[in-house]
């Protein structure tokens, strides 16, 4: 479902000059799997996900999403993914219902079909009570539910979540994680980026640890434990990021 092949992104920063935000990373994720991208802030997680979602173009390398190349088939890629990030906002002056209809129509649905899909999502996510209230008046938990529903409006085979629980309270974060797990059971391919170790431990089938734009390790939690000799993910992560890159790459 997701094949990332030697993906790199370099950009210019006014203070620091040329920066390699993502440096030659490769990994894959299949349907029914939650693949975690774990790294501290500024590690390159968001840039990677933005390239996969075709919001940014890679400097080198590519990725194939549901068989479509991110460089040459951006429209097909966008039609195959649901993208959600912690920073993604909702149009404040639209209601959740209007938001969902708008995005359903952007995905090519006719108005009647968009309305039916919206009604189903509103019911499934328990949004009914505030479906016709402007988004600017909703709590962060309510907004997150609407955002998740928005990402799923086209029932995509691939879901890309970029730190979806950042800024949420414990209940809203738990609900979000529940939705993610539910969608794994529906055989979706889920790419989940986080810097919260407990989330990665709880959710992910496989984890890639990313630091300063490079992938340091990929594997299941058990595999990473074996590789580092550490039990907890936090210790695994710290042992990997404190190891000089040269040692890891040989």
Partner 1 sequence: MKNIFLVYQKELKSFFRDKYTLIYSILFPILLYPLIFWGMSQVFTIQRGSFEKMSYRVGFADHRLPNLIYQILGSEDRFDLFPDLILSDVTSAAELKSMDLDVVVQPARCSSDEMEIRLIYDSASDRSSAARDRLEIILNRLKLIELKSGMLESSEDLPDFDIVEFDLSSTEEKSRYLLGILLPMIMVIITVMGALYPAIEVIVSERERQTIESTLSSPISTGHLIAGKFAAVVTMSLVALILNVVSMLVTIKHTLFMHGDLDDLNFTIPLGAVPYIFLGAILIATLFSAIMILVASYAKTFKEAQSFITPIYAIGIQPAVVSALPGIKFNIATALIPITNISLMFRELIRARFDLVPILVTVGSLALWCTIFLLASRYLLRKESIVLGMDRSLFRWRKRRTQREKGGL
Instruction: For the CB of residue 115, give the shortest distance to partner 1 in the complex, in Å.
Output: 17
* By CB under 8 A, residue 146 contacts partner 1: no
Token pair 């479509």 in the structure block, residue: 68
Radius of gyration of the chain (CA): 18
With beta carbons less than 8 A apart as the criterion, state whether 131 and 97 touch: yes
Instruction: For the CB of residue 51, give the shortest distance to partner 1 in the complex, in Å.
Output: 10
Q: In what order do the strands lie in the sheet with 68-69?
A: 17-29, 2-13, 60-65, 68-69
Q: Which residues contact 165 (CB under 8 A, 6 or more apart)?
A: 86, 172, 173, 176, 177, 194, 196, 199
- Give the interface segment with partner 1, choosing from 11-19, 31-39, 223-231, 236-244 (CB under 8 A): 11-19
* By CB under 8 A, residue 129 contacts partner 1: no
* By CB under 8 A, residue 79 contacts partner 1: yes
Tell which one of 22, 29, 38, 56 touches partner 1 (CB under 8 A).
56
Instruction: For the CB of residue 117, give the shortest distance to partner 1 in the complex, in Å.
Output: 14
d(CA 105, CA 113): 9
- Give the interface segment with partner 1, choosing from 5-13, 111-119, 181-189, 208-216 (CB under 8 A): 5-13
* By CB under 8 A, residue 134 contacts partner 1: no
Tell which one of 71, 107, 115, 195 touches partner 1 (CB under 8 A).
107
With beta carbons less than 8 A apart as the criterion, state whether 38 and 192 touch: no
* By CB under 8 A, residue 89 contacts partner 1: yes
Q: Could you tell me how many residues of this chain bind partner 1 (CB under 8 A)? A: 34
Using the 8-state DSSP alphabet, how is residue 38 labeled?
E
- Give the interface segment with partner 1, choosing from 23-31, 51-59, 115-123, 241-249 (CB under 8 A): 51-59
177 backbone φψ class: left, alpha, beta (φ>0; ψ -120 to 50)? alpha
* By CB under 8 A, residue 17 contacts partner 1: yes
* By CB under 8 A, residue 217 contacts partner 1: no
d(CA 37, CA 19): 20
With beta carbons less than 8 A apart as the criterion, state whether 48 and 33 touch: no
| Residue ranges that bind partner 1, judged by CB under 8 A | 11-15, 17-18, 50, 53-57, 75-76, 78-79, 81, 83-85, 87-92, 103, 106-108, 147, 150-151
């Amino acid at each position: 479902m997701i094949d990332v092949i030697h993906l790199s992104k370099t950009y210019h920063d006014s203070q620091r000059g040329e920066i390699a935000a993502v440096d030659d990373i490769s990994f894959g994720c299949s349907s029914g799997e939650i693949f975690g991208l774990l790294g501290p802030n500024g590690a390159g997680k968001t840039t990677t996900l933005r390239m996969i979602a075709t919001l940014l173009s890679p400097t080198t390398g590519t990725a194939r999403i549901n068989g479509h190349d991110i460089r040459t088939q951006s429209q097909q890629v966008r039609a195959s993914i649901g993208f959600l990030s912690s920073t993604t906002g909702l149009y404040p002056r639209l209601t959740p219902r209007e938001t969902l209809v708008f995005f359903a129509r952007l995905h090519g649905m006719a108005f009647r079909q968009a309305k039916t899909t919206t009604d189903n999502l509103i019911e499934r996510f328990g949004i009914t009570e505030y479906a016709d209230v402007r988004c600017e008046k909703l709590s962060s938990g309510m907004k997150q539910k609407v955002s998740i529903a928005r990402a799923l409006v086209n029932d995509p085979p691939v879901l890309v979540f970029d730190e979806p629980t950042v800024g949420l309270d414990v209940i809203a974060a738990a609900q979000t994680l529940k939705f993610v797990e539910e969608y794994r059971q529906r055989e979706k391919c889920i790419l989940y980026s986080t810097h919260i170790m407990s989330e990665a431990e709880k959710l992910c089938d496989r984890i890639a640890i990313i630091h300063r734009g490079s992938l340091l390790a990929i594997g299941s939690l058990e595999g990473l434990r074996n590789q580092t000799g550490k039990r907890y993910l936090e210790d695994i992560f710290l042992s990997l990021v404190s190891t000089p890159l040269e040692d890891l790459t040989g």
